[in-house]
């Protein structure tokens, strides 16, 4: 497994954790500290909010550092590498005119000759 894949997995895990930490932060409704009244007696509201805030900043900085580090170890795109070939489709395609094969092949038919013009029979005079 390459270092780039390891960084990508760590970023994904940190992102999911960050979403969870943000969801339990104190909002206008009180957040985690307001919902757990028994816990507040032991740890207090201040310790809970400090931990959540530090976890948020820590995860955000961790994601930023890993994102910058992964840009240095990302696989490089090679210029002039193998070209992607189109697979044949099963759909019917409209015929194309003036293709390269037609331009290279000599004309097989002789040019059409004009037929001599025939005059209409003259109408009898009255």
The domain locations on the chain are 35-75
pLDDT at residue 58, rounded to an integer: 94
2 Cβ neighbours under 8 A, 6+ residues apart: 73, 75
Q: Divide the 126 residues of the chain into consecutive groups of 10 and give the mean pLDDT of each group.
A: 89 95 75 53 65 91 94 79 68 61 56 64 68
49 burial class (0-12, 13-18, 19+ CB within 10 angstroms)? Answer: middle
What pLDDT does 120 receive? 65
What pLDDT sits at residue 9?
A: 95
Say how far apart CA 60 and CA 75 lie, in whole Å: 24
pTM for this predicted structure: 0.48
pLDDT value of residue 82: 63
Helix 3-23 with 44-73: angle, nearest 10 deg: 160
Task: Name which of 56, 77, 75 is nearest 8 in CA terms.
Answer: 75
């Amino acid at each position: 497994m390459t270092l780039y894949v390891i960084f990508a997995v760590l970023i994904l895990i940190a992102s999911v954790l960050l979403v969870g930490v943000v969801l339990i932060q104190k909002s206008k409704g009180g957040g985690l500290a307001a919902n757990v009244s028994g816990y507040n007696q032991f740890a207090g509201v201040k310790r809970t909010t400090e931990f959540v805030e530090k976890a948020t900043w820590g995860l955000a900085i961790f994601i930023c550092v890993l994102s910058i580090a992964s840009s240095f170890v990302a696989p490089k795109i090679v210029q002039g590498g193998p070209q992607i070939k189109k697979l044949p489709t099963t759909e019917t395609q409209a015929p194309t005119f003036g293709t390269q094969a037609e331009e290279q092949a000599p004309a097989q038919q002789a040019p059409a000759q004009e037929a001599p013009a025939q005059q209409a029979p003259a109408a009898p005079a009255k």
